[in-house]
A and B are shown apart, each in its own frame.
Chain A
Amino acid sequence: GAVVSQHPSWVICKSGTSVKIECRSLDFQATTMFWYRQFPKQSLMLMATSNEGSKATYEQGVEKDKFLINHASLTLSTLTVTSAHPEDSSFYICSARGGSSGNTIYFGEGSWLTVV
């Protein structure tokens, strides 16, 4: 079964609204989670590193005010796409470190966002 769960799997929203995507580690604590974005026929691009209890670290070119990341607990990180526009339509996916050694990477199932 999944050890990292994302919700929602699919979301359609109107342009200008905000959408929140949740990433949960189900049976382990994740101090660090990673958020990726994948456009059609392209690879996954790291957007930001989410650190529990502190500010996220954003990759170059990713607007921190547009993609709000909150990692308030050891099992939950959220990504909020604010004032979404059609060009934000993409596949968003999170990953987290876990496992007995803490070095196994688990992916969430991903969230498809369509902005109309």
Chain B
Amino acid sequence: RKEVEQDPGPFNVPEGATVAFNCTYSNSASQSFFWYRQDCRKEPKLLMSVYSSGNEDGRFTAQLNRASQYISLLIRDSKLSDSATYLCVVIMNAGGTSYGKLTFGQGTILTVHP
């Protein structure tokens, strides 16, 4: 089983749609969770961190379910500019020199069309 697994996608949605991605992780000791966005041929950029209480940033809502070991990302009112690959990222170790070792999901491609 992969350490971090995402919905395979791709997702192809019209503008204004609501779309949700899920991501599961296998290591129950995982400490930190993030969603990154990666545009074609570019480096990943942090979209948002994911907190146990859930968090929202504009049209984006992220949630963490530790019991079921998954995180989710909800995008409301999709825009054309939301088209990208969304990467689920988990940091396994909270401290020491290993901190910062990100484990990426395979990514989910989102295409928003007019």
Contact = CB atoms under 8 A, between A and B. Distances in A.
Interface of A: 31-32, 34, 36, 42-46, 49, 51, 91, 93, 95-97, 103, 105, 107-110, 112
Interface residues of B, number: 18
Given A43-B105, A46-B101, A107 B43 contact: yes
Contact of A51 (B46, B97, B99): B97
Given A36-B104, A43-B87, 16 more contacts: A34-B102, A42-B106, A42-B107, A43-B104, A43-B105, A43-B106, A44-B87, A44-B104, A49-B101, A91-B41, A93-B44, A95-B102, A97-B99, A107-B43, A108-B43, A112-B41
B1 interface: no
A49 B106 CA distance: 20
Contacts of A49: 97-98, 101
A105 B106 contact: no
Nearest to B46: A105
22 contacts: A31-B97, A34-B100, A34-B102, A36-B104, A42-B106, A43-B106, A44-B44, A44-B87, A44-B102, A44-B104, A49-B97, A49-B101, A91-B41, A95-B100, A95-B102, A96-B100, A97-B99, A105-B100, A105-B102, A107-B44, A109-B43, A110-B42
Contacts of B87: 43-44
Nearest to B2: A43
Nearest to A91: B41
B103 interface: yes
Nearest to B87: A43
Nearest to A33: B100
A95 B100 CA distance: 8
A43 B51 CA distance: 23
A32 B104 contact: no
Contacts of B98: 49
Report, nearest first, the 8 A-B pairs whose CB atoms are least far apart. Answer: A97-B100, A43-B106, A107-B43, A43-B104, A110-B43, A44-B104, A43-B107, A109-B43
A49 B98 CA distance: 8
Nearest to B42: A110
